[in-house]
A and B are shown apart, each in its own frame.
Chain A
Amino acid sequence: MDTDAASSHRIPASTFLRELVEHLREHRTELREEWARRITEAKLLTAMSDAEIFAEATSVYDNYVEALETGTFEALQTYSRNLSERIIPRGVETHEVIGIVLLLRDVLARSLFAKHQGDFRMLNRVLDAYEPAANRIANTVAVGFVQERERIIREQQEAIRELSTPVLQVRERLLILPMIGIIDPQRARQLTEQLLRGIRANRARVVVIDITGVAAMDSHVANHLVQTVEASRLLGATVIVTGLSPEIAQTLVKIGVDLGKMNTVGDLQGGIEEAERLLGYKVTPSSDDHPRSSGLRDGS
């Protein structure tokens, strides 16, 4: 807690702080109600019912005053993250959380003004004790909220990454890796690792990497693709890249990717046919005109 402002006074700031905390506890009911009222007035926390707002307001108020009293903010930080965990799924936004904390700060400050309006010096000292702590509290709550949001975003990103990198075995020795969405370096790395493990586990000889669903191709993604192809080759697997759109094909040429290193086919269907050919499969129509693949020609 910032006590520098108090050091020049003969009476320590803690005295004023104690008095302030007492005042806030004494007038808890009315101040809390006023705060809840102003929250509704400002149209904040619209995702929550009045009863919910009041319940949470009570907790926040008590934690706020406690933080003022003890000068420690760990408990408040923990509370803030727990609170955020509860309200973020309800759709509460950052500006709302910061808004209500600042409203509380204001409500309490005005209450102090009202109490000490007769004694200017006293008011000054109380505010000197209140201000830094109040700032710190607002900061702590806001940071707690933002940290919780960031944690959720990271979790979601991880989930998306896992969802969108399936390595699928469609035939003996043939894997398909459909790439979808935005490929950032982390995801590219995960993709390659997953593919290499898949090649080893399935003893794949051919891999078809389909990039139809890739959002954008820049030199980084292109390089990752080339690396994936080369690493797969080191494990004895041939890679066929399919699904290059005209735009991506142009981009690859412009970037100067060594296309000699990549075996490409226009679409996934063509890629699978090429893969089957490499593996010695032959697809022939059966008597009722439905194509069915007959077994292998060479031993595998």
Chain B
Amino acid sequence: MSLAELQDRIRDAAARGAPLRLRGGGSKDFYGNEPRGELLDTRGYAGIVSYEPTELVVTARCGTSLTQLENVLRENGQCLPFEPPHFGPEATLGGCVAAGLSGPRRASAGALRDFVLGVKLVDGQGRAMAFGGQVMKNVAGYDVSRLAAGSLGTLGLIAEASLKVLPLAACELSLELECSEAEALESMNAWAGQPLPISGTAWHAGRLCVRLSGAEPAVRAAAEKIGGTRIQAQQLWHDVREHRHAFFGGSAPLWRLAVPSVCPPLGAPGGTLIEWSGALRWLRVQDAREIAAQAGGHATRFRSHEKREDVFTALDPVAMALHRRLKAAFDPAGILNPGRMYAEV
């Protein structure tokens, strides 16, 4: 598949006013509001365009398998620092950037959008455009690349993305501590204020797991300071990231709450799994919107069996007006993944 073919599909759909459902491997079909429109499968537009480890940048097409991309990076001693969840072996780079989700390392390394250096975007009129680039610092023009990241394909098809990559940590180990939710929140926030190489935290049902990554002397010193028991936890971090952990099983709705990390225990029934030093709280309740609002954060109905509408927290009228006008600028015919993020865009 060529870029021109993707552009043609979009131009044609725009001319007919026919909604398009942009989709890579479909690993995140469950996420966001109900997808609709004719399927535009991006997997045919795949491959790494350029990768030079010493430049710390990789550029790849949207259909590139996320697993394959990560394997190539690993062979060169590097990684995607935001540790993206795949949610299935078929995950693609395009879907990863469009969904904008980050994994356990987010609290220390940064979010997906922090590592987006540039994109090639096909807008709703089928125009292929390049924003940002392949260099670390670039302030020419508005930051459309980061705007596209996490926009769920509603502003354009991310045909190609350039991401900053980083070296794999020389040393990594995990610790387990027994503690209550309140104690865990206290500890995680206190540690985050100290120069410790913490690269992941997860608390659930009285168990706090802490991952340390970095230079060997730093990791060793931090492990002594934090205490607890050393555990083999590669599988655990994978299961937390990919929602294979037992907490994520069952059919109750799964809510993702982003809150200020210092927010006290939310006290919701059904238990919680906490990540990101307290800033990310997963809940199994019917509706978590009010809880999130009370906590000064926002809630996403991440997975549920109900009709998928209003999955994301509503925006205030000024913000929504900006969203509508941006959508009109990028996709005047309103054909790209309409409604997937908000009914209005």
Q: Indicate whether A and B interact.
A: no
On B, residues with C-beta under 8 Å from A are none
On A, residues with C-beta under 8 Å from B are none
